[in-house]
């Protein structure tokens, strides 16, 4: 289940943030924000996606650049909301 | 003492961190009016050097135009130096209303409200107009002031890939349950110099019942046949619900900005726009100067036509010389160097050759996309651009990047 969750997020990140022809490798540990793939402003789309997909509300205080900085970090965050 | 040694050390540490990341910005002192040629101290306090200015937003060359300066003097003489008030207490003069009406006419909208700056206009408009029932769907390369405005608003937020209309459409479909969908974009993107695809955006807005916000700061005055901006360029004047623009670039270059658009939007800004309600009215000299600018550019398109010629010449000349530039039609022409240090070294060498152009690198632009951003002006004559080109070629040869592909430059200098 955890692997499936990771893959859903990974696929979303690839589709949502990589431009056509951008062949950068993105895996579960790739730094998304500190690595320059997702900026702090467009991170909001990822938050909207997670909230809609898993029917949760992530408070702004929890939606930090660190918490969203990799697929693995996001999975850890989602656990707090009962999503595994 | 309230400013304790711990507080001082903490702040000094922040500054050190900025420096160690190579992000510390140093200002140059311009010892002359803004123009195509200026006297510059760099570093400040050093001997003045005369350079050609290739980085001002002085697109129409009106920043120091004698008629504009004279009009500003008239403002001082007839309406004083400052208002000492916000607009709604005792800061609205007859000339503020005249300027708002003139801007409405120029931009082809229903109404206009002045703000102390376009930054303030962008920071205040969304909070004033939208509620938590609405959604803002923004291009990812919008200006920092709009990002701040979005963050201050209670409405939902979402973003789409830069100028990716398919992605925007997906987001419009996703947010059909919201009361108002507001598409948010710059007219011209300040770092890349490309134009938003406003014709497609208007089609999508009509199809999915969305409003449109466009920041015309880098286009008002020269994009479009009569300089009315991106909306004119794409033939969609009157179809943009909210325009923000500045008086601080092509339109005289002093300061001040506005929101122009639907009557209800403008009125809500007047009632609720916090930067409007809680900062001083635009100074009378700037209002009179701006009225003169609108007068000048409504009489003739000579200046925007010259700027268009300059832009075409410069884009072609750089391309022929073997530089990689970002394609586009605006007077913002980024020369791509990809490597951050190379962009700084290149800028420094240009300055030594008498050319003032600044290097931009992460986080101002994405990693691996460092560049020199050049900006054209109607104040440039051909000899200025030829001299600038000679300098670019000389420095380009020094670093052996002319005629090289992006990959070859990256292979040599890294990302």
| Across B174-192, average pLDDT | 96
| Residues contacting B9, CB < 8 A, separation 6+ | none
**pLDDT tier, B23 (very low <50, low <70, confident <90, very high otherwise):** confident
Whether B21 shows a pLDDT value over 90: the answer reads no
Which residues of chain B make contact with A44, given a CB cutoff of 8 A? Answer: 157-159
Nearest chain A residue to B369 by CA distance is A36
Average pLDDT for chain A: 89
Q: Please give the interface size between A and B, counted as residue pairs whose CB atoms are below 8 Å apart.
A: 24
The pLDDT score that the predictor gives to residue B226 is 97
d(CA B272, CA B181): 20
Q: Which two tokens stand for residue B215?
A: 């920041």
Per DSSP bridges, beta strands B370-375 and B358-360 are antiparallel
**Interchain contact B161–A (C-beta under 8 A):** yes
- Neighbour-count burial of B90, counting CB atoms closer than 10 A to its CB (0-12 exposed, 13-18 middle, 19+ buried): exposed
**Confidence class for position B359, pLDDT limits 50, 70, 90:** very high
Q: Which of the four CATH numbers 3.40.50.300, 3.40.640.10, 3.40.30.10, 3.90.420.10 does domain B66-298 have?
A: 3.40.640.10
Architecture of domain B22-53+302-413: Alpha-Beta Complex (3.90)
CB-CB under 8 Å, B147 with A41: yes
CB B282 within 8 A of CB B252: no
Q: What is the pLDDT of residue B25?
A: 85
pLDDT of residue A9: 94
Residue B107 contacts residue B260 (beta carbons within 8 Å) = yes
Instruction: Tell me if B60 sits within 8 A of B307, measured CB to CB.
Output: yes
| pTM score of the predicted model | 0.94
User: Is the separation of the CB atoms in B102 and B228 below 8 Å?
Assistant: no
Using alpha carbons only, what angle is made at residue B346 by residues B366 and B390, rounded to the nearest 5 degrees?
A: 125
Q: How confident is the model at residue B98 (pLDDT cuts 50, 70, 90)?
A: very high
Task: Report whether CATH 1.10.150.130 matches the domain A2-79.
Answer: no
Query: In which band, very low, low, confident or very high, does the pLDDT at A1 lie, cut at 50, 70 and 90?
Result: low
Q: Which of A19, A36, A41 sits opposite B159 (nearest CB)?
A: A41
Predicted confidence (pLDDT) at residue B71 exceeds the cutoff of 90: yes
pLDDT of residue B338: 95
User: Within a 10 A sphere around the Cβ of B133, how many other Cβ atoms?
Assistant: 12
Secondary element (H or E) of residue B220: none
Domain coordinates in residue numbering, chain B: 22-53+302-413, 66-298
B368 to chain A nearest CA, in Å?
A: 10
Tokens 């160690």 correspond to what residue?
A: B20
CA distance B292 to B351: 34
If pLDDT is split at 50, 70 and 90, which confidence band does A35 have? confident
Mean pLDDT of B202-229: 98
User: What integer best gives the mean pLDDT of chain B?
Assistant: 96
CB-hemisphere CA count at 13 Å for B232? 16
Contacts of B156 in chain A (CB under 8 A): 48
Interface check A36 vs B, CB under 8 A? yes
In this structure, the dihedral spanned by the alpha carbons of residues A50, A55, A56 and A60, taken in order and rounded to 10 degrees, is 50
SS3 B63: coil
* pLDDT over 70 (residue A2): no
Interface contact A21, partner B, CB < 8 A: no
Distance CA(B242)–CA(B212), nearest Å, equals: 6
């Amino acid at each position: 289940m955890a692997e499936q969750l990771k893959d859903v997020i990974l696929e979303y990140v690839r589709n949502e943030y990589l431009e056509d022809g951008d062949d950068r490798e993105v895996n579960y540990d790739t730094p998304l924000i500190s690595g320059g793939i997702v900026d702090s402003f467009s991170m909001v789309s990822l938050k909207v996606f997670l909230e809609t997909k898993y029917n949760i509300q992530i408070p702004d205080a929890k939606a930090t650049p660190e918490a969203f900085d990799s697929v693995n970090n996001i999975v850890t965050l989602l656990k707090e909301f009962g999503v595994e | 003492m309230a400013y304790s040694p711990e507080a001082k050390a903490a702040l000094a540490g922040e500054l050190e961190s900025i420096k160690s990341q190579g992000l510390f910005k140093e200002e140059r002192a311009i010892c002359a009016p803004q123009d195509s040629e200026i006297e510059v101290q760099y570093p400040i306090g050093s001997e003045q050097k005369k350079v050609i200015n290739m980085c001002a937003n002085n697109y129409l060359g009106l920043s120091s135009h004698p008629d504009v300066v004279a009009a500003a003097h008239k403002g001082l003489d007839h309406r004083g130096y400052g208002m000492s008030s916000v607009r709604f207490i005792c800061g609205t003069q007859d000339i503020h209303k005249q300027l708002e009406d003139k801007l409405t006419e120029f931009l082809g909208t229903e109404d206009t409200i002045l703000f102390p700056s376009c930054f303030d206009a962008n920071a205040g408009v969304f909070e004033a107009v939208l509620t938590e029932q609405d959604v803002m769907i923004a291009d990812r390369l919008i200006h920092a002031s709009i990002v701040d405005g979005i963050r201050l608003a209670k409405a939902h937020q979402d973003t789409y890939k830069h100028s990716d209309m398919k992605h925007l459409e997906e987001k419009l479909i996703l947010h059909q349950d919201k009361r108002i969908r507001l598409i948010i974009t710059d007219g011209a993107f300040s770092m890349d110099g490309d134009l938003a695809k406003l014709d497609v955006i208007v089609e999508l807005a009509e199809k999915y019942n969305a409003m449109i916000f466009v920041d015309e700061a880098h286009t008002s005055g020269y994009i479009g046949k009569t300089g009315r901006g991106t909306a004119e360029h794409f033939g969609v004047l009157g179809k943009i619900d909210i325009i923000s623009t500045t008086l601080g670039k092509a339109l005289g270059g002093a300061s001040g900005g506005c929101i122009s658009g639907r009557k209800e939007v403008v009125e809500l800004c007047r009632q609720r726009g916090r930067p409007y309600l809680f900062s001083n009215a635009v100074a009378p000299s700037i209002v009179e100067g701006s009225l003169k600018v609108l007068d000048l550019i409504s009489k003739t398109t000579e200046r925007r036509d010259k700027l268009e010629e300059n832009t075409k010449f410069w884009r072609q000349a750089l391309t022929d010389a073997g530089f990689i530039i970002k394609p586009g039609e605006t007077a913002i022409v980024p020369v791509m160097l990809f490597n951050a240090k190379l962009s700084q070294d290149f800028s420094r060498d240009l300055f030594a050759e008498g050319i003032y152009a600044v290097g931009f690198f992460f986080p101002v632009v994405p990693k691996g996309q460092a560049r020199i951003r050049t900006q054209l002006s109607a104040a440039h004559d051909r000899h200025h651009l030829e001299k600038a080109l000679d300098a670019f070629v000389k420095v380009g040869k020094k670093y052996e990047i002319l005629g090289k592909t992006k990959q070859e430059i990256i292979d040599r200098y890294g990302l």
